[in-house]
Chains A and B, each alone.
Chain A
Amino acid sequence: MIRARGRRLPAARAYGVAAAFLVAATLVSALVGAADLNPVATMTALLDKIPFVHLPSSLDQLDRAVLFDIRLPRIILAALVGGLLSVAGAGYQGVFRNPLVDSGMLGASAGAGLGATLAIVYLGSNGTAAVPVAAFAGSLAGVAIAYLSGAVGGSGTTTLLLAGVAVALFLTAVQTYLMQRSTQDLQQIYYWLLGSLSGATWQQAAEILPYAAVSVAIVLLHGRHLDVLSVGDEEAHALGLHPGRIRLVVVAACALAAASAVAVSGLIGFVGIVVPHVVRRLAGPSYRLVLPLSLLTGAGFLVLADTLARTVVSPAELPIGVVTALVGSPVFVWILRSTAAVRT
């Protein structure tokens, strides 16, 4: 068990910190962008949207279109995707009792990548609309195949993970083969794989909201079960729980959460690993806290990451996967080092 070093925040204060982080990230993000909107006018235009608040803003019609049709839906979608990926990552880590697992494991990312690639290669221009659906279906199918293959080999979590790794590598190989065969689609596939929230719309946010709500609710309700599971399968049995059943339900919910995120954003790595670990260091290892705090912190983290993605090389944009990996990889190494130190 990772011993939280330094001070651990009490639950109420941890919630406060996470919520404040999300709000601050959202505000910063709303105020910056390639269009260089006046920050004061942008702020008043935003406050004007709050019920019963009426503030005149100097934003003209064009600036409003930029703020409310391009920038805001993107921020909201980033928050949704970040929250989903982080909750899914934390959920998987609980189910597999493994700190290095995230929603990319178990064939979810590889399945989504293959689904999107199939849509881009074989559906041509109709594929643009079909890509999110194909990615969603591919992600769920990837997890299902991995789960079924793992179940054949026995009930242990290690078997399940190994099956996930095998399925992921297989699906990635098929996808790479398809890319090789279809060089004219390489660019489109490549940008999808790197992840982007550039085309975000209110409609996308509305479309994934139901899946997001259901999956997050199920995972959050299993916080206590995951805490018990972290002690071991036999102990959980002794307490009247069915580890296999809990595992199936949580994996299914996490798969749904990750699939919804992937459908609108492409592959965004490291969020699901980094965020839960940062949360653990702040608030301790109990999943009853880690899960909801990961939701809030992950949302804020991805909003910030996307803000960097669209401002650092403005008016060009970085793929958001590049930003999260640039931040995420060093943190990942740091986690590897510190957990190794704890274990010895």
Chain B
Amino acid sequence: MKPLAPKLAALTAALTAAALTMAALTMAALTMAALTAALAGCGSATTTSASTSGPATSAPAAAAGSSFPVTLTAANGTVTIKAKPVRIVSLAPTATEDLYAVGAGPQVVAVDQNSDYPTTAKRTSLSGLTPNLEAIAKYAPDLVISYQDANGLVSGLGRLGIPVLIEPAAATLADAYAQIDQIGQATGHYAQAQQTVTSMKTQIAAEVRQAGSSHPGLTYYWELTANPYYSVTSSTFIGQILALFGLKSIADAADKASDGGYPQLSPEYIVKAQPQIIFLADNQAADGGQTPAIVSRRPGWSAIPAVKDGEVIGLNDDIASRWGPRLPQLVEQIAQAVERASG
């Protein structure tokens, strides 16, 4: 009988299998890094403990005003800023929004590729996900703000004498406010930062008062991504905002410790959970373009009360994934949906 295959061909096949596996592993590693970063952008449970202890303790009333040098405690520890910074680089979309909201916009020389708001911000090809130290140093910054210490950002720029503030995804509204306060202090705009925070608090309180803070039985499904469907539990940053209205996430029952508050849900589970409101944080084209119309066409989803009642809300994905000064707009959109669903 003839052997099944020439030895060479068998060897080649085995080698290819090995090579393809290696390629897949490399891609997997790459992607896990990106995924971690993406989830961090939505508020990660691990990074937030640092920020809770950080800005909260670093805003003594005595430090008010624009006195320099100022020493702050950010997620990356104690940071001293010697003089009022005039060449700021922001590598985080939320930090960029914070900077402009507190009036530090004129001091900003460059923002990262994802900082698309305000539109007047000086957007560059800089990346906060994979920061390139040389590219950042080229702007000769006297303050750099990012949401994570990737690629040795803090130590690398530290060797050049450039102070770095790490302002990670907020775990609570208080965290978000504290970051705005801190960015105000770091840039010499503390009074304006306090005004910004006060105004945010007032607007949010008004929305909650209008829509009501108790809606027992009202549940929602918050969609971060479709296929696979990732959602948020009530304990996340977003979940806490919805909890202001007394809403519960259908993802709570599915939460495991390893999910960090962002469990994956199967379509069967979502349909069976019957949420009354669906919020789409993957609504815009750049984030998957899952519009309310598309959601209503998903097989089996027409049985969900939110779809039947037209309570599928396409959010402004950027506002919904940041923790900056535009939060009241998100709260307003939620409040309107809650009023309709409970009315």
Contacts and interface: CB of A to CB of B under 8 A. Distances in A.
Interface of A: 1-2, 33-36, 61-63, 65-66, 68-71, 73, 96-101, 104-105, 109, 124-126, 128, 157-158, 161-162, 165, 168-169, 172, 176, 179-180, 183-184, 186-191, 193, 196, 198-199, 201-202, 230-232, 310, 314-317, 332, 336, 339, 343
Contacts of B225: 187-188
A333 B259 CA distance: 33
Contact of B5 (A96, A169, A190): A96
Nearest to A321: B24
Interface in B257-294: 259, 263-269, 271-272, 274, 284-286, 288-289
Interface stretch (B28-36, B79-87, B132-140, B166-174): B28-36
Given A62-B274, A191-B228, A315-B266, A98 B35 contact: no
A126 B285 CA distance: 8
Contact of B4 (A104, A168, A339): A339
A315 B23 CA distance: 30
Contact of B13 (A100, A179, A343): A100
Given A179-B27, A187-B35, A1 B2 contact: yes
Contact of A124 (B4, B14, B285): B285
Q: Which of A165, A168, A202: most chain B CB closer than 10 A?
A: A165
Interface of A is mostly: helix
Interface of B is mostly: helix
Contact of A69 (B127, B285, B299): B299
Contacts of B264: 315-317
B26 interface: yes
B56 interface: no
B300 A186 contact: no
B20 A104 contact: yes
B271 A315 contact: no
A1 B4 contact: yes
A155 to B, nearest CB: 14
A59 to B, nearest CB: 12
Given A101-B13, A315-B254, A184 B286 contact: yes
11 contacts: A2-B4, A34-B269, A35-B268, A97-B9, A98-B10, A104-B20, A125-B286, A184-B286, A187-B38, A196-B228, A230-B2
